[in-house]
Amino acid sequence: FRYEAEIWYRLNHPNVLRLYGLYLDGPALYMVSPWQQNGPLSLYIKANPTVNKLTLLRQVADALAYLHSNDPVIIHGDIKGQNVLISDNGSAILCDFGLSMILSEIAGVSATPSGVQDGGSTRYMAPELMQGDHSKTCLSDTYAYAMLMIEVFSGSHPFPNLRYDASLVAAIMTGQRPACPFDLRGEDQNRNARLWRLIQICWHANPQFRPVMSGVNDLMQEIIGDDEMRQCVLKDFVILGRIDLGDYLHWVAKGKFLWQYISKVSY
């Protein structure tokens, strides 16, 4: 435990919860970290439905990429909305390292095998971990990140209609996955389609086909950049009087893209 705490203490990333130190009170040992008054992500997005969900998820991806690039590698192992806190300035802070696995490739140490009942959350658990003979890996974190995306964009945890671990395991092991949380038509259809494809590849049944979190982080940043550019272009055209919003919304309802509309009104 001391070894794990020392590694956590040395971590320095804006989206990873800091460890200030340890406090021993008799037989009780306390870990001291900054208080995040906005609470967990799962509750924050319900209280603030218009918050920029893409940015929060990108921050989590960046935090995971940082942990996975650490030496020794750090695997979180329990990614879900309850384990992401929201800071005073509205940033996502990855927390709960009680289940984190620290791997030292030099020493040849691997994470202990993970079964369904080891404290992880079944709804977010990769199928290979349910077989009982597989260790948690960076790629099982990638799978859990896909389920976190479902939670954030749908507003509920994955598989909300399944109450028991047995039914969850059966569903996941037979290839069932949550429904698409996006509207794949309308103004945001291009962005939403890209996000949906990312989710699908992140939760692939074969971990070797899942992307590493550094790649996921890069793609999330690219999607955010494209979305911000689209919003700026639309805003500029409205300000310049080049777009009639009623006409534009009618155009979007027909399944057209912004760039197609701009091309139309630019001539």
Return per-residue pLDDT of the chain as tens, 267 residues: 667 778 888 899 999 999 888 888 888 877 788 899 999 999 999 999 999 999 999 999 999 999 999 988 899 999 999 999 999 999 999 998 654 555 543 334 444 333 344 444 899 999 999 987 678 899 999 999 999 999 999 999 999 999 888 999 999 999 999 999 998 877 788 889 999 999 999 999 999 999 999 999 999 999 888 766 556 545 544 444 555 555 555 554 554 444 444 444 444
Strand partners, 22: 31
**Known catalytic membership, residue 226:** no
Task: State the sign of the Cα–Cα–Cα–Cα dihedral 151, 31, 213, 206.
Answer: negative
- How far is it, in rounded angstroms, from Cα 233 to Cα 205? 39
pLDDT, residue 229, reads 58
Task: State the sign of the Cα–Cα–Cα–Cα dihedral 65, 68, 72, 74.
Answer: positive
Backbone φ and ψ for 39, nearest 5 degrees, come out as 75, -165
pLDDT, residue 23, reads 82
pLDDT, residue 99, reads 45
* Cβ atoms within 10 Å of 260's Cβ, excluding its own: 12
pLDDT, residue 190, reads 84
Catalytic option among 78, 133, 165, 188: 78
Enumerate the domain spans of the chain: 37-229
Q: Are 16 and 63 in contact (CB under 8 A)?
A: yes
- How far is it, in rounded angstroms, from Cα 200 to Cα 52? 21
**Residue 73 is inside which H or E element, if any?**
strand 73-75
Name the class of domain 37-229.
mainly alpha
The DSSP line for 25-56 is ETTEEEEE----TT-BHHHHHHH-TTS-HHHH
pLDDT, residue 50, reads 92
- How far is it, in rounded angstroms, from Cα 116 to Cα 106? 29
